[in-house]
A and B are shown apart, each in its own frame.
Chain A
Amino acid sequence: MTHAPAPVLPHPAPVTPAARRSYADHGFVRLPGLWDRALADGIAREGRERWPHAEIPRHGPRTPVTARRITRRGTPAASGPLLARTHLALTGTARALTGRLLVPTFAAYGYYEDDDEVFLHIDTEQCDLTLLTTAFGDVGPLHVHPGLIGSTMERLGELESDPAWDRAGGIRVGYPDTGVTALNGHVLPHHRPGRPRPGLHAVAALCYRSLF
C-alpha cells in the first residue's frame, strides 16, 4: 500500500502592502497561491474523509429568521488534522495582514449538499479574522455587505426574513483553493444566496481572534 507524500504546509507568506490596504479598506482580500496543488489536494481529500463525521455544530452565528424562511437544516461541519496544521501555519500571515496579535480559535470544513446557501450573518467573536478556502467541489461566492456594518444579528435576521430583500445584492467574493479569502468576519455582514449544486461541496474556514 502506498501513501501520498505529506503535503507541504504553507510557509509564512509575505503579505503585500496592497493586500493589507485592501483588507483595511474593504474588510476582505483574496490571497491566492499560499500553498501548492499537493496541499489543496490533501485538504480536499481530508474534507471528503471527514464528511461522515460531520455534525451540525452547537456553536456559531445564529441568524434569527421567521420559521417559513428556514428551508433546510444547518450546515454540517467537521475538523481535521491537516486543516488544523494549516490553520496554525497561517497564524503569521493572519497577523501580518491585520497588524493584530491574532491567535487561532477553530478551523472547520462546512459541507453543502445540493445547495450552498448561507444566511446573512456576522461571525462570532472567535473570528476577528476568517480565512476561507474551497476545500472541494464548487461553492458559490460569498456576498459581503459593507452597508450593513454595525447591524445586529436581529436586524440581519429581519432582512433574511423579508422576501423583498435583494438576496443577489452585496459584493461577490470567491475563494481560491490554493489560498484564502481573508474576511473581517466579525464586522462585515455576509451571506451566500444559495443555488442548486448537485453533489457535495465544502468550504474550509480558519478563524483567529485578537489576543488583546
Chain B
Amino acid sequence: MPENPAQALVIVDAENNYYVLPREVVETARAAPEATETIREHLRDTAHVPLADGYSFAGVLRLPPEHEMAHYTPEASWPVATTTS
C-alpha cells in the first residue's frame, strides 16, 4: 500500500493560532533557484530547524523597503500590435 503523502504544512503562532498550508499552496510559493542567495541574505534569525517530511524552517524574511519597490516604474505599459513584415 503506498504511503499516504503529507497534504499540508501546519504552522502555529504565539497565540496558538494554527495555519494549514496545503502542499499545492506551498508549491506555488517555490522560489526560483537563482533567488536563493538573495533570500538567505534577508532571513532574520537564520536557522535551519528541521520540521518533518524533509522540510526545514529557514527563518523570517524581512526585506528593506527598497526591495518592495525594486521593480516599480511610473512608466505606463500597454499591449500594442506590431507588424510581422
Chain A positions near chain B (C-beta within 8 angstroms): 24, 54-67, 69-70, 74-75, 77-79, 84, 91, 98-101, 103-106, 108-110, 118-119, 121, 123-124, 126, 157, 160-161, 205, 207, 209, 211-212
| Residues of B with C-beta under 8 A to A207 | 77
Known contacts A103-B67, A103-B72, A212-B31; A160 and B77 CB within 8 A of each other: no
B79 nearest in chain A by CB position: A61
B70 nearest in chain A by CB position: A103
| Contact indicator per residue, chain B 67-79, by CB within 8 Å of chain A (1) or not (0) | 1111111111111
The distance from the CB of A79 to the nearest CB of chain B, in whole angstroms, is 5
Partner pick for A205 among B78, B82, B85, CB 8 A cutoff: B78
Are A69 and B81 touching (Cβ within 8 A)? yes
Categorize the interface residue count of chain B.
20 to 34
Are A57 and B82 touching (Cβ within 8 A)? no
Are A67 and B85 touching (Cβ within 8 A)? yes
Known contacts A65-B81, A66-B83; A106 and B25 CB within 8 A of each other: no
Are B79 and A59 touching (Cβ within 8 A)? no
Partner pick for B82 among A62, A98, A109, CB 8 A cutoff: A62
Are B80 and A62 touching (Cβ within 8 A)? yes
Is B39 positioned at the interface, with any CB of A under 8 Å from its CB? yes
Are A61 and B32 touching (Cβ within 8 A)? no
Please provide the chain B residues from 49 to 68 with a CB less than 8 Å away from any CB of chain A in the complex: 61, 63, 67-68
Are B81 and A160 touching (Cβ within 8 A)? yes
Known contacts A100-B28, A212-B32; A106 and B77 CB within 8 A of each other: yes
Is B84 positioned at the interface, with any CB of A under 8 Å from its CB? yes
Partner pick for B75 among A24, A57, A64, CB 8 A cutoff: A57
